[in-house]
A and B are shown apart, each in its own frame.
Chain A
Amino acid sequence: MDSAVTHSLLVARPTKLSRFVVFSVGGHVAVLLAAVLYARFTSTPKMDLDQKPINASLVRLGKPRDPKLLPRKEQAQPPPKEVAAKPTPTPPSQEPVPAPSPNAVAVPGAKPAPAPTPQKGEANAEDRRKKLFGAFDKSAKPSEPEELEGAEDGDPDGDSAVQEGERYYGLLKSQVRRHYNVADTIPDAERLYLKAQVAMRLGRSGEVLDVSLAKASGNELFDSAVVAAVRKASPFSPPPDALRDALQKNGVVLVFSP
C-alpha cells in the first residue's frame, strides 16, 4: 500500500518533481532569455538595417524602363561594331610564329584598339578562333579542311598553314574594319548596291607594299573611303611564313560593301 501510494503519480512528490519542474522552468527561461538577449545583442548592431531599403531601391532602379513611359535618348556614341575584334587571337602552338612587330597594332589617331597579344598553349584556342573569325569562315573557300590541329612535321603548304592563314586574314579584316568609315553624304538608295574591290600586297613585316582600287564602286567617295581604310589600318602584323610569299607576290583582294 505504502509502495503503491508512493508510486502513484497522483501523490505529490515535492522533492523530485518540484526540483525537475524548477529545473525545467529555469532551463526554459534561460534558453528564452538567452535567445532574447542574443537576439537583442546581435540585432543591436543590425539596427542599421534601415540602410537596407536604400539598397533595395537601388536594385529597383536597375529595372528596365516602364514601357508605358517615353524612352530615354539613345546614347550618341555608338558602340564599336566589331566586338569580335576584342578577344585575343592565339597563334598555333605547334609552329613558331614571329612576334607581331610593335607597331603592328598601333592605330594612328584613333580609338584604342585591342592589341592581339599572342598567348601560347591556350586549351580552347580553337573555340576562340571560331568565335573570332566565324564570319570569316563562312566566306572562306569551302575546300578548306576542318582539321583542328596540324601535324608538326606537316606540309608547310598544308592544312596547318591554312588554319594559320585564316587567323591572319581574320586579323587583317578586323583591323581594316576599324577604319572603315564612310561618309553620310552617300544617298541611302546607293548604299544598297555599293561594292568596291581593293587589291593590296604586303611585305615581310606586314607593311603595305602597294594598295589600289581593283574594281570601283561607281561612287568616288566610297572608293576613296575603302582605300583610306586600308591605308589607315596599315601596317599589319607580319604574315605567317606560309603566306609571306603569296602576300608579297599576289597580295590579297578586299571586297567592300557598306
Chain B
Amino acid sequence: MKALLLSLLLVPALVLAQAPVIEISGANFRPLPLAAPAPTVQEGGDKKAAGAFDTAFTYDLTASGIFQVLDRAGFTADAKEGMTAGSINFSRWADVGAESLVKVSLAQDGGALRGELRLFNVATGHEDLKVAKDAPANEPRKLAHALADALYRHFTREASPFLSRITYVRKAGANRDVYVADWDGMGAQALTKGGTNILPTLSPSGQVAFTSYRKNRPDIYVQAPGGEAKPVVTDGQMATGVAFSPDGRRIAYALAEGESAQIYVAAVDGSGAKAITDTPYGLNTSPSWSPDGKRIAFVSNRGGSPQVYVMGADGSGVKRLTFQGNYNQTPDWSPRGDLIAFTARDERNAFDLFTVNVETGKVTRLTQDQGNNEEPSFSPNGRLIMFSTTRNGGAHLWVMTAEGNNQLPLPMEKGNWLTPDWGIAPAAK
C-alpha cells in the first residue's frame, strides 16, 4: 500500500521532471464572454418586475466593461435547464462562446422580491458563486444592481459601480435643475425646482453641492436629498466648480472677482475659506481632488491658454500637466490616482475627452469624431467614465471604460442632460 502510494506520487513527479518546459506569457486580456439568459420567474412571480430586473441587470453587466455579454439572439434558452450544475448542458454554452454562465431565478415573497444568482464556469461546469438578495417588490432594479454587484465583486474583488449614485443637470427650457439618480441615471430625483442650478457634485455621504442663481447671484449651496439647500459660499462675484474632498470634510471651489478667479479651500460648511491660488489676472477654476486628498487638479490660463495643472491642497508646488492643445478644462482625478480625465477642444474645434497620466504626462484620447463630448467623471472604482455627449442630438449621458472602450448611453429618456458627477464613494450598503 505504501509502495503504491509512493509510486502514485512519484510517477507524475518523474513525468514532470522529464517533460520539457515551455514558458508562455503575453496574455491577451479581453472582456469575459458571459452568457446571461433571461431570469426564470418562479410561480406567482411578477413578469413585469422580472422584465425591469432583466433590463437593469443586463445593462450593468454590459456597461461594466469587463464582461462581453453574449447576444441572446445567439442562443436559445432551454426551458428545462435548471439552476443547478447537474441540469445544465455546459457543452452547449461552450459552443455559443460562453466562458461563464450566470443564471438568475426570481421569486415573490410577500412584499419582497427575492433573486438568486448562480455563476458557473462553463469549461469546468463548476458552480463558482451562489448568492441571494432581497429587495422591495416594487424595486426590481435595486435587486438587479445588488446581484450585479455581487457578481462583479466575485470577479474583481472590489466594489462595483452599480450601487453608486450620480448627480447631473437637466436643462429644460430656461431652467437648469439638479438631479440625483442611480448610477444608470434611473430612479432620478429632482433636488431643485426651476431657476438656474449648475455644476452639481456628490459628497461621500450623499449630499449635493452646486452653484445656484436663486438669489440672483451665483452662490454655492449644499443640499441633502429631501432636505433644504443651505448657502455655504456667498462671497465674490461668482462661486462655481465646487468639489468635495474624498473624506467629505472640505470643499474646493473657484471664486471670480474682477478680472481673475482663484481657487479656495474651505470646510464643508464654507467656514475657514482660504485662497490657494494667487494669480492677479489669471483664471483658476474647476478644482478636482486627488484620491488621497493631498493634491488638487485645476484649470488655469496663467500660461496663456487654459491648461490642466496640479498643486498641493494648500496651493504649494503648482505643476502644469497638459502641454498639448490650447483649450483644456474640467479635470476629474481618477479615484485610482493615476489618471486625470479632462475635456479638450481640438484643432477642429470639437470637444473631446482625454486622460493625462499624472506621473508621465502622457495624454490619451478617449472620444473622437462623435459630436462634442464633455464633462468626464470617473466611477468610484476608477474603471468607468461618465460624460455628456451631443453625438445623437441633444445632450445625453454616456458611459465608457477609462480607456475609452465600450461607449454606451445611459438608459434614460432623451433630453438635455449635462455635467454628470459620479459619487466618489459607493452608497453605503
Q: Which residues of A contact B (CB under 8 A)?
A: 67-74, 76, 78, 81-82, 136, 139, 165, 169, 172-173, 176-177, 180-187, 190, 199, 214, 220-221, 224-225, 227-228, 246, 250-258
Q: Smallest Cβ distance from B286 to chain A, in angstroms?
A: 18
Q: Which residues of B contact A (CB under 8 A)?
A: 15-16, 18-32, 65-67, 99-100, 121, 123-124, 126, 128, 155-158, 323-325, 344, 346-347, 352, 354, 363-368, 404-405
Q: Which residues of A sit under 8 angstroms from B31, Cβ to Cβ?
A: 183-185
Q: Which residues of A sit under 8 angstroms from B67, Cβ to Cβ?
A: 185
Q: Say yes or no: A258-B346 contact (C-beta < 8 A), given A183-B66, A220-B124, A250-B18.
A: no
* In contact, A169 and B65 (Cβ under 8 angstroms): no
Bound CA span A69–B352, Å: 13
* In contact, B27 and A172 (Cβ under 8 angstroms): no
A-B complex: 9 closest residue pairs judged by Cβ atoms: A183-B32, A185-B155, A224-B123, A70-B325, A73-B368, A182-B27, A73-B365, A258-B27, A250-B19
* In contact, B26 and A73 (Cβ under 8 angstroms): no
Bound CA span A73–B323, Å: 17
Q: Which residues of A sit under 8 angstroms from B19, Cβ to Cβ?
A: 199, 250-253
Contact check: which of B21, B66, B346, B404 meets A70 at CB < 8 Å? Answer: B346
* In contact, B123 and A228 (Cβ under 8 angstroms): yes
* In contact, A181 and B324 (Cβ under 8 angstroms): no
* In contact, B24 and A185 (Cβ under 8 angstroms): no
Bound CA span A81–B26, Å: 8
Contact check: which of A70, A173, A227 meets B365 at CB < 8 Å? Answer: A70
Q: How many A-B residue pairs have CB under 8 A?
A: 141
Q: Say yes or no: A185-B32 contact (C-beta < 8 A), given A70-B324, A256-B24, A258-B27.
A: yes
Bound CA span A228–B366, Å: 32
Q: Which residues of A sit under 8 angstroms from B124, Cβ to Cβ?
A: 220, 224
Q: Smallest Cβ distance from B157 to chain A, in angstroms?
A: 5
* In contact, A180 and B23 (Cβ under 8 angstroms): no
Bound CA span A70–B355, Å: 11
Q: Say yes or no: A256-B25 contact (C-beta < 8 A), given A70-B324, A199-B15.
A: yes
List 29 A-B pairs, Cβ < 8 Å.
Answer: A69-B347, A70-B352, A72-B368, A82-B26, A165-B20, A169-B22, A180-B26, A181-B27, A181-B30, A183-B31, A184-B66, A186-B29, A187-B156, A187-B157, A220-B126, A220-B128, A221-B100, A221-B155, A224-B99, A228-B99, A228-B123, A246-B20, A252-B22, A253-B20, A254-B21, A254-B22, A254-B24, A256-B24, A257-B24
Bound CA span A255–B100, Å: 24
Bound CA span A73–B368, Å: 7
Q: Which residues of A sit under 8 angstroms from B22, Cβ to Cβ?
A: 136, 139, 169, 172-173, 252-255
Q: Smallest Cβ distance from B151 to chain A, in angstroms?
A: 10
| Extra contacts besides A67-B324, A183-B32 (20): CB < 8 Å | A68-B325, A70-B344, A78-B28, A173-B24, A180-B24, A180-B27, A181-B27, A182-B27, A182-B30, A184-B32, A185-B156, A186-B29, A220-B124, A221-B100, A221-B155, A224-B121, A251-B15, A251-B19, A253-B22, A255-B24
Bound CA span A125–B163, Å: 59
Contact check: which of B21, B29, B368 meets A184 at CB < 8 Å? Answer: B29
Bound CA span A214–B16, Å: 9
Q: Which residues of B sit under 8 angstroms from A255, Cβ to Cβ?
A: 21-24
Tell me the nearest residue of chain A to B344, going by C-beta: A70
Q: Say yes or no: A76-B405 contact (C-beta < 8 A), given A187-B157, A250-B15.
A: yes
Tell me the nearest residue of chain A to B94, going by C-beta: A228
Q: Which residues of B sit under 8 angstroms from A76, Cβ to Cβ?
A: 405
Bound CA span A68–B21, Å: 49
* In contact, B65 and A184 (Cβ under 8 angstroms): yes
Contact check: which of B20, B157, B366 meets A169 at CB < 8 Å? Answer: B20
